[in-house]
Chains A and B, each alone.
Chain A
Amino acid sequence: MTKKIRVTNLYKSFGELEVLRDVSLDVAEGEVVCVIGPSGGGKSTFLRCINRLETVSGGEVQVDDDIITDPKTDINKVRERIGMVFQSFNLFPHLTAKKNIMLAPVDRKKMTKAEAEEKAISLLTRVGLSDKADNYPHQLSGGQKQRVAIARALAMQPEIMLFDEPTSALDPEMVGEVLQVMHELAKEGMTMVVVTHEMGFARDVGDRVILMADGQLVEEGKPKDFFANPKELRTQEFLSTVL
């Protein structure tokens, strides 16, 4: 299978604090990789290095043929192919749901206004929110906001989606609707890296599960083996606290 993302010997420090230590990971096209682990273990930072929301301290990140970590790479061009969904949604509060989705495709001249509007409506329909097109973010529930955020990320027709704890800020009854949208995306063959605390999702949807702790990639494996027979002590400890 083709490699979509290749992370090699990644290091990241914030001042004195070393957040990532020698992390390497390949993600194949169409693969769904779920990253789990304790808070402060470096999961989010790792994810944010993939689209250069964080600059790395050492190592290399490659997406297709582009070296993300090379300062000469036109990062905006690469980011057109990488969608991202945040824990706190980060919808633009001054724009309606529809306009949130239309902003990037129109501004980046990927689509005309009319095309983008059509796309926005079809994406909203896809996430079950066609009736909320003209609503402002504050008029939506948490689960609805996150579904709009997913639609917004999809508007650029990305080949990769990064999810940074997409359900952690949601009320429990809204987690399901967001996970379902993600599940459908996975079924359609989207390459996904998902940082999550939803063990059920990791087990059912993930092609591979990774445990990150203390800035290192502790263990990886197929979900079945990973949850049934974790090899590392650190993994066993973590799983015993969350399962």
Chain B
Amino acid sequence: MNFDFARVFQELTPLLWDGFQTTVYVSIISIVLGMMVGLLSCYFRTCRFRILRFLAASYVWVIRGTPMIVQAFFFFFGLNQVTQAMLGFQLLSRDMAGILTVTLNAGAYFTEIFRGGIAAVDKGQTEAARSLSLPQSRTMLRVVLPQALRISLPSMVNQWIISIKDTAILSAIAVGELMNRTQVYAFGTFVFFESFIFVAVWYLVLLSALMILSNRLEARMNYDKKN
């Protein structure tokens, strides 16, 4: 068996660059939306309306309890089949279905991450803020959340990494991201070994950059050790 890294590099790199852009944009949108969904659902989980608590708990339960690929297929093939039949058009493009899947997944896990962070903030912090006449909402915003986010940061970074890697699953519904582009090339040319090494390197570089960035962020948010 002959390896031909040079040729594969030349042929695959433009495809990987294209896939990389999709991976990055799908990841960024999904993570940002996922954090907003997580914050909202975390708020629902702890609010005083039973129906909202129930909704948030069900959401987390369903997402955590089903494989992501099932969700992706459901949104892209399942949902689209129904809208096609009933409304005459497909509701979600591949990218939209992919973003929805990763967003909802990230959101469910962020819900738990934020909840843990908020629970870890000392009760005395809330009492101090309330005794200073801050209402509940302002106490949450000005005193509890900043500390909760700081506490949650390592888990948040972990979820960012997981969500980026999750986008590879979207290759199954042919979202043109890194994995999908590699698969198309590799199965068309039967060059597997080199192809998957190259795509692995792209992921490694992307995630390493994120890890370095997040280390800096953690250092900056570390008010307990800042001088």
Q: Which residues of A contact B (CB under 8 A)?
A: 51, 53, 76-77, 79-80, 82-84, 86, 88, 90-94, 103-104, 107-108, 136, 138-139, 149, 152-153, 156, 162
Contact = CB atoms under 8 A, between A and B. Distances in A.
A138 B224 contact: yes
A103 B142 contact: yes
A92 B128 contact: yes
A104 B224 CA distance: 22
19 contacts: A53-B127, A76-B133, A77-B133, A79-B132, A79-B133, A84-B128, A86-B124, A90-B128, A93-B224, A94-B150, A94-B223, A103-B129, A103-B143, A104-B133, A108-B134, A136-B223, A138-B223, A138-B224, A139-B227
Contacts of A79: 130-133
A76 B134 contact: yes
Contact of B147 (A94, A107, A149): A94
Contacts of B220: none
Interface of B: 122, 124-125, 127-135, 138, 142-143, 146-147, 150, 223-227
Most buried by A among B129, B131, B225, B226: B131
A82 B131 CA distance: 8
Contacts of A162: 131
Contacts of A153: 131-132
Given A83-B132, A92-B143, A92-B147, 12 more contacts: A79-B133, A80-B133, A84-B128, A90-B125, A90-B127, A93-B224, A94-B146, A103-B134, A103-B143, A107-B138, A138-B225, A156-B133
Contacts of B224: 93, 136, 138
Contacts of B131: 51, 53, 79, 82-84, 153, 162
A91 B135 CA distance: 17
The listed residue with most B CB atoms (<10 A of its CB), out of A76, A77, A107, A156, is A107
A88 B125 CA distance: 10
A153 B131 CA distance: 8
A154 to B, nearest CB: 11
B125 A104 contact: no
A108 B133 CA distance: 8
Contacts of A103: 129, 132, 134, 142-143
A53 B133 contact: no
Nearest to B149: A94
Most chain A CB neighbours (cut-off 10 Å) among B122, B130, B133: B133
Contacts of A104: 129, 132-134
